[in-house]
Amino acid sequence: DISTDTQNPPAFVVVATLRGENDNPAEYLDDGTAEKQAEAYPDIKTIVLQQSPSDVYVAALDAADAMGWEIVASEPLEGRIEATATTPFVGFKDDVVIRIVAVGADTLVDVRSKSRVGRGDMGVNAARIREFRVILTGS
């Protein structure tokens, strides 16, 4: 469970209903995950942009599409996109939620990626967030 905002991670809403009883919980657990993430992935941070939230929302949808994610929910008024990413070869399902909010002149983009099954992800969730950031920002 990797998030650009570990203090207030984006919540799964629709995706939470897709998780089975034996899947990892959709909730962000206070089990030391944030501390472990900060140590392992210090670059995974909120994306700050100067474009309007509506423009960023469209760009985020385009980035998710470019990454081949299945869009599960698209809520522009809430600034929330939920999707499922399927890993190559093995076909594991991982869930992603994107939160877009305006703060002053900035638009903040937070992304959370969580594996449905298993205890480790071999860095896949962090890599997914990094790739999304590159596609979204062009850098």
Q: What is the pLDDT of residue 120?
A: 66
Mean pLDDT, consecutive 10-residue stretches, the chain (139 aa), reads: 96 90 85 91 97 98 97 97 88 93 97 84 90 95
Query: For residue 127, with 0-12 CB atoms within 10 Å meaning exposed, 13-18 middle and 19 or more buried, which class applies?
Result: middle
Helix segments in 1-139, DSSP class H: 33-40, 53-66, 124-137
Q: Using CA atoms, how far apart are residues 113 and 126, in angstroms rounded to an integer?
A: 8
According to DSSP, the residues that pair with 103 across neighbouring strands are 106
Q: What is the pLDDT of residue 49?
A: 98
